[in-house]
C-alpha cells in the first residue's frame, strides 16, 4: 500500500523532538485529519498513549523508537521512510473494554490495549472470585492481583507475572494471577477472545482493590467486567523483517 501523506507526532524528549524536526524537513508533515499514516516518535509508553488518542481514527500508525525498549516500535532512521512504510506489515488489534463498578457506586469504563489488571490496594491480599462467561471458575483466588492480557500486551506485564506469550494473530486472551497464594497451583488460563471475564472482589472493604486499564486506574472497586472490544480496530505498521509477529516469536526463545 502507498502512504503518500505522512503525519508526525513525537514525545516531549529532546531526542524525539529532534527526530520529528529532521523527518519533517525531509518528508513534510501532513495534518492528521488529511494523512494516510501517522508516524509516532518516542518509546512504548508514548506509543500506547498515542494509540489511545487515536481510537476513533482509522489510519495506520508506524512507531519509530527514540525511547528505551521500543517493543511496539520500529528502528529510528531518516532514510527511505516512504519505502519502509509501503513495504511494512500491518497488524490489526482490538483492545479490551473494562467496566469497573466502584464501592461508592457508579461505573468507570476504560480501554486497554495491553492489559487490564486488578491489584490489591493495601497490605492485605486481595480475594477475587473469577467468573468466565457466567460460570464461576475459581471461587476464591487469594493473591496480589490478576490480569487479562491481549496478544499485543502478552509480552509486557503479563509476561513479567509469568503469563504466556501469545502469538499476535491468536484468538485468545491470557488470564494470569499475580503472586497467587491460594490456590497455589493455579498458573492462569488462556481464554477465547470472545470470553467475558467477570472479577468479583470479595471482602472489598477490608481488602480494597484497584483496577487498571493500561495506565487508567480506578480505586476501591467491587467488581470488574473485561471483554474484547471488536468495534475498535487499531492498525500498527512494522518493518517486514522485524514485525510484531516476529518479535513475539523471538521473545519466546530468548534465554
Walk me through the domains of the chain, giving residue ranges and CATH numbers: 6-93+233-251 (3.40.50.10330), 96-228 (2.60.200.30)
Q: Taking 80 as the threshold, does the pLDDT of residue 88 lie above it?
A: yes
Say what percent of the chain tops pLDDT 70: 99
Q: What is the pLDDT of the chain when averaged over all its residues? A: 93
What pTM did the predictor assign? 0.89
Closest CA to 154 of 172, 142, 138, 141: 172
The tens digit of pLDDT for each residue in 124-172 reads: 999 999 999 999 999 999 999 999 999 999 989 999 999 999 988 889 9
Say what the pLDDT of residue 255 is: 62
Residue 199 and residue 24 in contact, taking contact as beta carbons nearer than 8 Å? no
Q: Please confirm, yes or no, whether 44 is among the known catalytic residues.
A: yes
CA distance 33 to 12: 22
pLDDT digits (tens, 9 = 90+) for 89-128: 998 999 999 999 999 999 999 999 999 999 999 999 999 9
pLDDT over 80 at 70, yes or no: no
Query: Of 22, 36, 44, 139, which residue is the catalytic one?
Result: 44
Phi/psi at 197 (5° precision): -105, 120
pLDDT for position 243: 74
Amino acid at each position: 500500500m502507498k502512504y503518500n501523506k505522512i503525519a508526525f507526532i513525537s514525545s516531549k524528549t529532546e531526542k524525539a523532538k529532534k527526530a520529528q524536526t529532521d523527518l519533517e524537513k525531509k518528508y513534510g508533515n501532513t495534518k492528521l485529519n488529511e494523512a494516510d499514516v501517522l508516524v509516532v516518535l518516542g518509546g512504548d509508553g508514548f506509543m500506547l498513549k498515542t494509540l489511545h488518542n487515536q481510537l476513533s481514527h482509522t489510519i495506520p500508525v508506524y512507531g519509530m523508537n527514540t525511547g528505551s525498549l521500543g517493543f511496539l516500535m520500529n528502528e529510528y532512521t531518516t532514510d527511505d521512510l516512504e519505502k519502509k512504510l509501503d513495504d511494512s506489515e500491518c497488524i490489526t488489534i482490538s483492545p479490551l473494554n473494562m467496566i469497573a463498578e466502584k464501592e461508592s457506586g457508579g461505573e468507570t469504563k476504560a480501554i486497554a490495549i495491553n492489559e487490564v489488571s486488578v491489584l490489591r490496594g493495601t497490605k492485605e491480599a486481595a480475594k477475587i472470585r473469577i467468573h468466565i462467561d457466567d460460570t464461576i471458575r475459581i471461587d476464591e483466588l487469594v493473591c496480589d492481583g490478576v490480569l487479562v492480557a491481549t496478544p499485543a500486551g502478552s509480552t509486557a506485564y503479563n509476561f513479567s507475572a509469568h503469563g504466556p506469550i501469545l502469538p499476535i494473530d491468536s484468538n485468545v486472551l491470557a488470564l494470569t494471577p499475580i503472586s497467587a497464594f491460594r490456590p497455589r497451583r493455579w498458573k492462569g488460563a488462556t481464554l477465547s477472545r470472545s470470553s467475558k471475564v467477570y472479577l468479583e472482589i470479595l471482602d472489598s472493604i477490608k481488602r480494597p482493590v484497584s483496577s487498571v486499564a493500561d495506565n487508567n486506574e480506578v480505586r476501591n472497586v467491587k467488581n470488574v467486567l473485561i471483554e474484547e472490544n471488536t468495534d475498535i480496530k487499531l492498525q500498527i505498521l512494522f518493518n517486514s523483517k522485524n514485525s510484531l509477529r516476529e518479535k513475539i516469536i523471538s521473545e519466546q526463545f530468548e534465554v
